[in-house]
Amino acid sequence: MTAPFTSILFDLDGTIIDSAPGITATLAYTFETMGVPVPSPAELLAYVGPPILDSFRDRAGMSLGEAAEALAIYRPRYLESGALDSTVFPGVPEVLRAVRAAGIPMSLATSKPETPATLMLSHFGLLELFDIITGASDDEVRSSKEDVVAEALLRLEAFGADLARPVLVGDREHDIEGAAANGVPTIFVDWGYGSAAEQAGSIALAHDPVELQRLLLG
């Protein structure tokens, strides 16, 4: 039987890894260090997934300079203690291994910079399952999901992947929008951080990893 997709892109935060504890704790530290009020836990959770500079600007109302200052505080603290304050969603490693066993080329496509993303996947023993690791550039110049997906497709093409029927797996509306800007459909997973309203525009909804594997491999 032919698999429904010829290459698969995976988001990281909220899709593979529950990284919220480390991210929200590091954000709280960042706001405290800057001497500004720390948002509520629910508000901090909304920061998980989208590019962090965008969130500093759009959610915290920071200027470009303030966002750069916040990032300079956030980044080393997150690498030091936040990145590994996370857990893998149960059942997801089995999906990744099944995709790998099926021989379908697979790339990470995350708005998290590649250094912490690689660190996290290596820590949880998942790094070797991916053919390509694509994330935001460490300087955050490439951080929008649209740009990350475009870069992942370029790298998959150079790898020799068949891009006739690609798909992205993600949990937030910016995943759907960024993939769509590159002509890539999205399967939405509902165990992540996105609300039900953010599912709009996805081609399918996976309620658990077993269902996701069925959607990906047929």
Give the Cβ contact number of residue 202 at 10 Å.
22
Which residues, in sequence order, are CB contacts of 33 under 8 Å at separation 6+? Answer: 73
Q: Of 154, 86, 75, 85, which Cα lies nearest the Cα of 115?
A: 75
Mutual angle of helices 20-34 and 64-77, in 10-degree steps: 130
Q: What CA–CA distance (Å, rounded) separates 128 from 142?
A: 24
Catalytic annotation present for 58: no
Beta strands in 36-189 (DSSP E): 87-88, 106-113, 132-136, 166-170, 186-189
- Strand pairing partners for 7? 166
Q: Are 120 and 22 in contact (CB under 8 A)?
A: no
User: Helix, strand, or coil here: 142?
Assistant: coil
Which residues, in sequence order, are CB contacts of 36 under 8 Å at separation 6+? Answer: 60
Q: Of the listed 11, 13, 131, 175, which one is catalytic? A: 11
Give the Cβ contact number of residue 162 at 10 Å.
13
Q: Which residues are catalytic?
A: 11
